[in-house]
Amino acid sequence: MKKLVNEPMAKAKTHFVCQECGSTYSKWSGQCRGCHQWNTLVEETLTPTLKSGARGWSVSEDSHQPGSRPKVHRLDRKLEQANDQRHRTGFQELDRVLGGGLVPGSFVLLGGDPGIGKSTLLLQMAGGLAKNKQHVLYISGEESVHQSALRAQRLGITSSQVEVASESLMENILSLTKDIRPDVLIVDSIQTVYLSELTAAPGSVSQVRECAAQLMALAKGQNIAVFIIGHVTKDGNIAGPKTLAHMVDTVLSFEGDSSYQFRLLRAQKNRFGATNELGVFQMKTEGLAEVDNPSEMFLEERGSDLMGSSVFAAMEGSRPLLCEIQGLTSSSPMAMPRRTSLGFDTNRVHLLVAVLDKHLDLGLSKCDVFVNVVGGLKITEPAADLAVAAALISTTNFQEMDGQTCFFGEIGLTGEVRRCQFADERIKEAEKLGFNHFVLPESNKKHLTKLLSKLNGNVVWIKRVAQLPAILKSLRQNNTSTKPKERDLF
């Protein structure tokens, strides 16, 4: 006789996934061996990886079945349709960061701190795309339809080409997209959507990875441009697995300081353009507005006391940008004085302080040194060295700077000032804003022959950093004696 035994239910297999880097382990441990972060392992039920396209679409229509031959294109043949046609998003700043407009079928990830304006940017972009005859579906997993619609209304988006919905179940998002067939799909945010087949919580590594895979298949298979919003971790990286950044075509980051109204949009990765472009926006009561002249904005609050303040002509991608660099030194009782820097590499400050001490005997080794790039900008170019050095010399020697001078040049360890690229673009931008004196590396001279006649001798060439204090002094004296009235206005 068969024994009736209550068979115990099979225990679901689980594994531990690092929520920072996505590494998986069979046992829990306090620290992830992959990324060395603590307390990031979370137990998740093991589910077989979903085949992208099982429910939605596959990357290519032809590769549905195993054994089917993928489509091959020989490059000497003409493409059937012009796939490189890009769409204007309504924001020139966003178009530039995307590499010249939105590519149909692209998969874009936008990351940024909470409340920085990601939803606002993409909703306004939806409005802009609609004006260019693009059909946009905006799906929010964070806000109700009413809230999204209200926000769109407040932002002045009234087009019939934009539809908003509230949904967080991935299967429903895919079927709604299949129904509506938009040109552009926006999912706000990837951390709130989930596939019901997976038991892991929304926002967990496996949910984010699988949902992103579904959306990628949708973008590539149906030629729908897909935007996803991603939350960021406390150290500023996009939350979720690293594979997320590998999957998408473009990773955009929206940054800004909560104390400033402006927002900076950068591309961290872009398969359709350069990654060093910068878009500048301003958050206003009626939404985000583009900033046409960012240099003017960054110099807006430049004070009248110009001790320790210099102007640097930076290059952000293809665009020149003027910014104010402030330096402050104060004697320190500490054996190891502080070197603090905001918006500029602290290691580079250490290097510059050592070079200035060696060649100018400023006594900085006994001083705390502070460097600040005004307006929350982050300067990574070594071309800022000369402007930082000028600000530090000015503050240490209690010398006021000439307010109409602009600097750029890289400083080497032997005290030489080295050539910079894009000198003419930088000078033209500075001239537009009324800067009429320039301190430039001498090695740039031969590349600027065309501009030189126009500049009328207002350029001071510098070869070694040791010349800088004398140059600053002469510039100040010349300008004070020639334009006393203008200077009083400061």
Contact residues for Mg ion, defined by CB under 5 A: 119
Stretch that binds ligand TYD, among 117-125, 198-206, 318-326, 456-464 (CB under 6 A): 117-125
Verify binding: residue 127, ligand TYD, rule CB under 6 A. Answer: no
Cα dihedral across residues 232, 319, 257, 118: positive or negative: negative
Q: Is 341 in the site for ligand TYD (CB under 6 A)?
A: no
Q: By three-state DSSP, how is residue 70 classified?
A: coil
Where does 361-410 have alpha helices with state H? 385-396
Q: Which does 363 bind (CB under 5 to 8 A by kind): ligand TYD, Mg ion, none?
A: none
Least CB distance to Mg ion at residue 143 (A): 7
Q: How far is CA 131 from the centre of its chain?
A: 26
Q: Is 115 in the site for ligand TYD (CB under 6 A)?
A: yes
**Sheet containing 41-45: order of strands:** 24-25, 14-18, 41-45
Among 21, 41, 116, 248, binds ligand TYD (CB under 6 A): 116
321/317 Cα distance (integer angstroms): 10
φ, ψ (nearest 5 deg) of residue 296: -60, -40
Using CB under 6 A as the binding rule, whether residue 286 contacts ligand TYD is answered as yes
Q: Taking phi first (over 0 means left), then psi (-120 to 50 degrees means alpha), and beta for anything else, what does residue 314 get?
A: beta
Cβ closer to Mg ion: 115 or 363? 115
**C-beta of 124: minimal distance to ligand TYD in Å?**
9
Closer Cβ to ligand TYD, 256 or 403, answer by number: 256
Return phi, psi of residue 413, to 5°: -65, -25
Residue 114 touches which of ligand TYD, Mg ion, none (CB < 5 to 8 A by kind)? ligand TYD
Contact between 119 and ligand TYD by CB under 6 A: the answer reads yes
Q: Which of 8, 30, 114, 333 binds ligand TYD (CB under 6 A)?
A: 114
CA 376 to CA 467: how far, in whole Å? 30
What is the spatial distance between Cα 126 and Cα 188, in angstroms, rounded to a whole number?
Answer: 13
Q: How far is the CB of 116 from Mg ion (least distance, A)?
A: 9
Instruction: Say how far apart CA 154 and CA 144 lie, in whole Å.
Output: 15
Provide, rounded to whole angstroms, the least separation between the CB of residue 268 and Mg ion: 19
How is the chain split among helix, strand and coil, in percent rounded to 5? 30, 25, 45
Which of the ranges 167-175, 284-292, 433-441, 469-477 carries the binding residues for ligand TYD, by CB under 6 A? 284-292
Among 26, 81, 285, 449, binds ligand TYD (CB under 6 A): 285
User: Rounded to a whole number, what is the largest CA-CA distance in the chain?
Assistant: 115
56, 90, 117, 230: which one binds ligand TYD (CB under 6 A):
117
**Roughly how many angstroms between the first and final C-alpha of the chain, as a whole number?**
104
Q: Considering only CA atoms, which of 337, 256, 267, 340 is closest in space to residue 298?
A: 256
Whole-angstrom Cα Rg for the chain? 28
Instruction: Tell me if 8 contacts ligand TYD by CB under 6 A.
Output: no
CB of 188 to ligand TYD, least distance (A): 7
Cα dihedral 176, 179, 185, 187 in deg (nearest 10): 0
Taking the complex as a whole, the smallest distance from the CB of residue 108 to ligand TYD amounts, in Å, to: 15
Indicate the residue among 119 and 404 with the shorter CB distance to Mg ion. Answer: 119
Q: Can you tell me the distance from the alpha carbon of 17 to that of 97, in angstroms, rounded to the nearest whole number?
A: 34
Q: Measure the CA angle with vertex 287, ends 281 and 288; round to 5°.
A: 10
192 binds ligand TYD (CB under 6 A): no
Distance CA 230, CA 414 (A): 45
**Residue 119 Cβ vs Mg ion, minimum distance, rounded to whole Å:** 3
CA angle, corner 253, sides to 252 and 258, nearest 5?
155
Q: Please give the residue whose beta carbon sits closest to Mg ion in the complex.
A: 119
The listed partner (ligand TYD, Mg ion, none) that binds 151, CB under 5 to 8 Å by sort, is ligand TYD
Residue 212 binds to ligand TYD (criterion: CB under 6 A): no
Interface with ligand TYD by CB under 6 A: which range of 112-120, 192-200, 265-273, 361-369?
112-120
118 binds ligand TYD (CB under 6 A): yes
Q: Which of 40, 120, 250, 467 binds ligand TYD (CB under 6 A)?
A: 120
CB atoms within 10 A of CB 446: 9
Report the residue number, 190 or 200, with the smaller CB distance to Mg ion. 190
- Which residue ranges make up the site for ligand TYD (CB under 6 A)? 112, 114-120, 151, 283, 285-287
